Amino acid sequence: MNLIVAVDENFGIGNEGNLLTYIPEDLEDFKKKTIGKVVVMGRTTLESFPNKAPLKSRINIILTRDKNYKVENAIVINFLETLFDVLKSYSSEDIYVIGGESIYKKLEGYCEFAYVTKINKTYKSDRHFFNIDEDKKWVLENRGEIITSCSGVSFNFNIYRNIKPLNFD
C-alpha cells in the first residue's frame, strides 16, 4: 500500500477543507499515479472534491465513522478491520491512501511507500501530516529536483520507503 500527499514546510496539508495551494504539476502526478487504482480517503477529503464526487477512473473507498453515510460510485466502510478485508482483494501496490489527516494517521504504518510532494513555502493550515523526515520508520529513497510550478510555487517530488510496514492480512 502507498500514500500520496502534498505538504508545506511545516507538513501542513490543508486548511478549512481545501488544499493549501494549486500546483497543476502535482495534480497531474497524482492523477498519473492513481488512475485505474484504489484510493482510500476519509469523508472530509471526499467532500473537498468538486461536486463532492468520487474520483473518476479509480476505485474510491471512503473510511468514515458515519454509519449512515452513502456515496454513489464509492465503497463506504466504517471499520478499519472491514477496510483491511476489502483491501485484500487488491494488489498492495495498486492502493493509495490519499488523506486526510486522520486517515494518514490510521494507515501510514501499513504503507510501504510514501509519495510526498514537498512545497517550499509555509501556508496557513489546520490539517497536518506527520514529519516523515524525523520518523525513523521511513527512509528517503529519492529526492526529486526542485521544480518551479507554472503557478509560481517551488516544490519537489520525494519518495520514502517504510522500513517495516505493518501487514493487514
Confidence of residue 163 (pLDDT cuts 50, 70, 90): very high
Instruction: Please state the rounded mean pLDDT for residues 101-122.
Output: 98
Domains of the chain with CATH codes: 2-37+88-162 (3.40.430.10)
pLDDT at 27: 96
What does the pLDDT look like over 129-160, one tens digit per residue? Answer: 999 999 999 999 999 999 999 999 999 999 99
Contact status, residue 36 vs residue 58, Cβ threshold 8 Å: yes
pLDDT at 50: 86
Confidence of residue 168 (pLDDT cuts 50, 70, 90): confident
pLDDT higher than 80, residue 169: no
Instruction: Please state the rounded mean pLDDT for residues 111-139.
Output: 98
DSSP β-bridge partners for residue 156:
118
What does the pLDDT look like over 52-104, one tens digit per residue? Answer: 999 999 999 999 999 999 999 999 999 999 999 999 999 999 999 999 999 99
Q: Which of 53, 82, 84 lies closest to 67 in space, CA to CA? A: 82
Could you tell me the CA-to-CA distances from 3 to 40, 49, 72, 78, 150 in Å, in that order? 9, 18, 24, 20, 25
Contact partners, residue 110, CB within 8 Å, separation at least 6: 1, 165, 166, 167, 168
Q: How far apart are CA 122 and CA 138, in angstroms?
A: 23
**pTM for the full predicted model:** 0.96
Helix (H) or strand (E) holding 80: helix 80-87
